[in-house]
Amino acid sequence: MQTTFYDTLPPLPEVDRAVADFAFFLYDLEAAGDETRLDLTLKRTVYTKFDAVLEQIAKFEAGSLAEFTQLLQKKLDSKRLDIDNFETIVVE
């Protein structure tokens, strides 16, 4: 899993490798020595318990309905503008 994606998850309880039943392998792309290519590099391994992770991830707190509706409306308006411009270009 990419480290930046893992960082968006809620804090997950870590345990010792000996008692873990689940692990996240966190990788990142890093410039290679010649800087013309990228290498996939293991940055960290997070050991945890599956049930604990599932419980943390399954907890969901909904945000503001008004904020969600406003964001959705902005996206719809943007798409509508794209469609309007497309019709104008096609007609011309």
Residue 22 pLDDT greater than 70, yes or no: yes
Q: How many whole angstroms separate alpha carbon 24 and alpha carbon 14? A: 10
pLDDT > 80? residue 35: no
DSSP track, 4-17 = HHHTTSPP-----G
pTM comes to: 0.59
Task: For residue 56, give both structure tokens.
Answer: 């943390």
Structure tokens, 85: 């411009």
**How many whole angstroms separate alpha carbon 7 and alpha carbon 51?**
19
What average pLDDT does the chain have?
85
Question: In the structure, what pLDDT confidence band is assigned to residue 34 with cuts at 50, 70 and 90?
Answer: confident
Rg of the chain over Cα atoms, rounded to whole angstroms, equals 22
